[in-house]
Amino acid sequence: MKYPKLRELKEAVRALIKGPYTTNFPYKPHTPYERFRGRPYFYEKDCIGCTACAQVCPAGAIQFEDKMINGKATRKFKISLDICIFCGQCQANCLTGKGIMLSQEFDLATTGKREDLKEEVEKELIICDCCQEIIAPLDQYLWVAERLGPLVFSNASLMLFYLRLPGLAMSDIPSSKSGEEFLRQDRIKILCPRCRREASLKS
């Protein structure tokens, strides 16, 4: 004759006294643990548009697209919750640590369209004064400038960007024509790395 294990008896008695281990969801709201990884949310004020989250997403749930319309460049992020695996890599690799964060929200089931499970964030981009190529998001430039403090004046592009915000520097500088030689004054512009290198060598 086999006797029941003491551990099983202990668990049975505990369940009779304290009740079942499972929750009554969906009849009662379930409260996840503190470190539960749920739905990710973009926080537009803290997101600098650096694309770090999109580059480390193993499921490809975060996509971005750069567009240039009438001389204004924007970057649009789209997060697809229907293919997100809630791994937390986006939050772990966010430069600011607060641009995208996972919540405790887990009940994402819907009977509507898949578009209901997508979230979008749009960021303004800075373009080169000479070649009109995209350099970086405006918020990322501002984030770098704030972290550098007075050292921002050691870089011409960052210095001009910082001075243009309060209107202390010209923002309507005419761009150089294609194939035109760089002049000495072209070095004092917001330039992409390629134009910065050519301006330094050819002026």
Reading phi first (left if > 0) and then psi (alpha if -120 to 50, else beta), residue 70 is in left
Would you call 74 helix, strand, or coil by DSSP? strand
pLDDT at residue 177 tops 50: no
pTM greater than the 0.95 cutoff: no
Poorest-confidence range of 7-21, 99-113, 127-141?
7-21
Q: Confidence band (pLDDT; 50, 70, 90) for 187?
A: confident
CA distances from 159 to 12, 25, 94, 111, 136 (A): 70, 56, 25, 51, 15
Per residue in 18-60, pLDDT (tens digit) is 877 777 777 888 888 888 999 999 998 999 999 999 999 999 9
> If you write DSSP's letter for every residue of 92-160 in order, what string do you get?
HT-SSS-SEEE-S------SS-GGGGEEEEEEEEEE-TTT--EEEEHHHHHHHHHHHGGGGGGSHHHHH
Give the CATH class of 35-125: alpha beta
Residue 157, token pair as written in the block = 């592009």
List the one residue out of 171, 117, 127, 161 whose CA is nearest residue 141: 161
Domain ranges for the chain, please list them: 35-125, 128-169+177-203
Mean pLDDT of the chain: 84
Higher pLDDT, 154 or 65: 65
Tokens of 27: 């009849």
